[in-house]
């Protein structure tokens, strides 16, 4: 899959699809936590000339749960945008076969949470198994986004990866954090495609907002 296949649509179609409503033709590219001073987590990209739009429920509350989704793809995009960021791209497919792309910085807390959950699925279940993705904003000054992968209401995570990432964050070792994330994405991608994936790790520095 490529990002060029993702086109913006009316928000209500996505909300109906992933909240268990009626089927519709959904394709959307979603950024995570693009605006700090809001409780919204998911933001729909509307093109280069428009500001991303927060995905909100009819109640006025932010969309925070994508229910009954399946991992359709995962990869890393290099040197994205003006700041040449490294992004993780996660493709989720609904029960009706509609795909959305979620994209976030590779080493953000949200990305670490999601990948840790997917690695838990990889080791204990089947990556083709439907799951629920919950996301929310933290309360600290930087308002980082967090996430949890759940199956049958139970949180799924890989304890070893959780510990390794926690230690790397505690040591402020951004290079190790990136390496752990790249290796995990390579494993998940290989499991989905059956093709070996080479991981290249370069030295990185801690950037404001990464943690």
Instruction: Scan for tokens 């993780």, then name that residue.
Output: 88
Structural domain span for residue 106: 3-193
Closest CA to 44 of 94, 129, 103: 103
Query: Quick check: is 199 in a domain?
Result: no
Inside any domain, residue 209: no
Q: What angle do CA 67, 98, 128 make, to 5 degrees?
A: 60
Residue 71, pLDDT > 60, answer: yes
3-state secondary structure of 75: strand
The residues that bridge with 42 in the sheet, in sequence order, are 32
**Two tokens at 5?**
């296949």
134: in domain: yes
pLDDT in tens, 44-70: 988 777 899 999 999 999 999 999 999
Tell me, yes or no, whether 202 lies in a domain: no
At 24-49, the pLDDT tens digits run: 333 688 999 998 888 999 999 887 77
Q: What are phi and psi of 175, to 5 degrees?
A: -65, -40
In a domain, 184, yes or no: yes
Question: DSSP characters for 153-210?
Answer: TEEE--HHHHHHHHHHHHTT-HHHHHHHHHHHHHHHHHHHH--------------TT-
Helix (H) or strand (E) holding 17: helix 11-18
Task: Note the pLDDT of residue 20.
Answer: 40
DSSP readout, 67-112?
Answer: EEEEEEEEEEEEEETTTTEEEEEEEEE-TTS-EEEEEEETTSHHHH
Q: Residue 56 gets which letter from DSSP?
A: B
What are the pLDDT digits (tens) for 95-148? 888 899 999 999 999 999 999 999 999 999 889 999 999 999 988 877 899 999
**What is the total count of domains within the chain?**
1
**Any domain includes 63:** yes
| pTM of the predicted protein model | 0.80
- Alpha helix ranges (H) inside 41-173: 109-124, 159-170
Q: Is residue 56 in a domain?
A: yes
36 falls within a domain: yes
């Amino acid at each position: 899959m490529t990002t060029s296949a993702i086109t913006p649509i009316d928000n209500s179609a996505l909300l109906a699809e992933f909240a268990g409503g009626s089927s519709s033709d959904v394709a959307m590219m979603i950024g995570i936590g693009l605006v700090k001073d809001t409780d919204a987590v998911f933001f729909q990209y509307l093109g280069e000339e428009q500001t991303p739009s927060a995905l909100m429920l009819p109640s006025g509350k932010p969309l925070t749960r994508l229910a009954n989704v399946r991992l359709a793809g995962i990869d890393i995009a290099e040197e994205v945008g003006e700041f040449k960021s490294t992004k993780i791209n996660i493709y989720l497919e609904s029960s009706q076969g509609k795909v959305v792309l979620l994209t976030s910085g590779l080493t953000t807390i949200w990305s670490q949470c999601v990948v840790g959950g997917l690695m838990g699925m990889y080791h204990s279940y089947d990556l083709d198994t439907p799951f629920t993705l919950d996301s929310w904003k933290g309360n600290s000054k930087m308002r980082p986004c967090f996430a949890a992968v759940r199956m049958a209401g139970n949180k799924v995570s890989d304890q070893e990866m959780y510990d390794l990432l926690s230690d790397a964050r505690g040591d402020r070792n951004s290079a190790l954090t990136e390496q752990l994330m790249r290796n995990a994405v390579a494993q998940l991608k290989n499991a989905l495609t059956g093709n070996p994936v080479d991981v290249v790790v370069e030295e990185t520095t801690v950037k404001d907002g990464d943690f």
